[in-house]
Amino acid sequence: MKAQPRLRIAVQKSGRLNNDSIDLLIRCGLKIRATKNALFCHGENLPIDVLLVRDDDIPSLVVDGVCDLGIVGENVLLEQAIIYQQDNAQSNFAVIKKLGFSQCRLAIALPQAQLFDGPDSLTGLRIATTYPNLLREYLMRNQVKAKIVTISGSVEIAPRLDMADAICDLVATGRTLEEHNLKEVDQVVTSQAVLIKSLKTLTENVPSKKNDILELLLRRIGGVLKAQESKYIMFHAPKASLPMIKEFLPGSEMPTIMALDGIEDKVAVHVVSSEGVFWITLEKLKQAGASSILVLPIEKMLS
């Protein structure tokens, strides 16, 4: 009997992408048995298996069709995609969804005291990076001549060791730069985790069992991402304030309005807000006369 097709998805084994990637798959309903040191996790309830690898290996595993899908940072993808273009190889992968986590930026940073007056200020400097392709493209785009010093890690200590005058590295909170007396002066690219698919194994517009599994996974990922952004809000409010409240509650076109026993001029409002709910929104609600305000997370959502 022919084996049923299964999708194989490449995920970072350990590091900054691992937790959120696995968490997303679990939220999509995938049950995987996590065994220590295992590189391959069999999906128990869906025809989806997980291959745990270094993030740098993910694009080529997908391009070569060893894996059908991969979750990887745009930074890695862009750095390597430039290599693929140079090789003139046909692009054998496609980005199918931005996943919203692992957000960071590839940035140029200089010692705190050094002046920066636009990319021209980098002329003649030695810039240390683990992203030589993206840095080269940035320098070319800005018509700046500088020396790229490619190193394999701990880029932020290069200026102190006099290996470089500036760095080009990933920044998230900016704390690492601060700790090393560096300041961010320009952005090369922004990045977040994305889902990529192999065009070798998942041919576009050709119906196949694998494409059906992908459709199901994409629908669930869409639901998980939407649920993460959405909140269920409950509060009491004066009837007279309802039009104003609707104005500043994002994505709350169809609230459920219920009468409050024994109180004529107030109602209970339940609403799903499709955008992040911030303290400022809650303060506005309060100013509009709302009380007993509750904001609840939504676990699953399918519309």
Q: Is 73 in the site for ligand PRT (CB under 6 A)?
A: yes
Residues 45 to 64 in contact with Zn ion, rule: CB under 5 A:
55-56
Q: Is 169 in the site for Zn ion (CB under 5 A)?
A: no
Among ligand PRT, Zn ion, none, what binds residue 228 when CB lies within 5 to 8 Å by partner kind? none
d(CA 244, CA 284): 10
Smallest distance from the beta carbon of 71 to ligand PRT, in angstroms? 10
- What angle is formed at CA 158 by the lines to CA 155 and CA 159, rounded to 5 degrees? 125
Query: Given candidates 172, 240, 263, 294, which one binds ligand PRT under the rule CB under 6 A?
Result: 172
d(CA 113, CA 126): 17
Query: Given candidates 8, 21, 55, 210, which one binds ligand PRT under the rule CB under 6 A?
Result: 55
Among Zn ion, ligand PRT, none, what binds residue 191 when CB lies within 5 to 8 Å by partner kind? ligand PRT
Residues 6 or more apart in contact with residue 189 via CB below 8 angstroms:
74, 75, 78, 105, 106, 134
CB of 112 within 8 A of CB of 182?
A: yes
Query: Given candidates 10, 11, 17, 168, which one binds ligand PRT under the rule CB under 6 A?
Result: 17
- Tracing tokens 């020396």 back to the chain, one arrives at 147
Considering CB under 6 A, how many residues would be counted as binding ligand PRT? 21
Residue number, 75 or 230, with CB nearest to ligand PRT: 75
d(CA 287, CA 85): 56
Half-sphere exposure of 35 (CA within 13 A, CB side): 8
d(CA 139, CA 175): 25
The interface mask with ligand PRT, positions 103-132, x = CB under 6 A, is -x----------------------------
DSSP track, 248-262: HSTT-SS-EEEEETT
Residues 6 or more apart in contact with residue 176 via CB below 8 angstroms:
156
Smallest distance from the beta carbon of 183 to ligand PRT, in angstroms? 12
CB under 6 A: which stretch of 35-43, 54-62, 85-93, 140-148 binds ligand PRT?
54-62
Residues 184 to 243 in contact with ligand PRT, rule: CB under 6 A:
191
Strand partners, 98: 194
Q: Which residues in this chain contact Zn ion in the complex, by CB under 5 A?
A: 55-56
Q: Which residues in this chain contact ligand PRT in the complex, by CB under 6 A?
A: 12, 15-17, 54-56, 73, 75-76, 102, 104, 169-176, 191
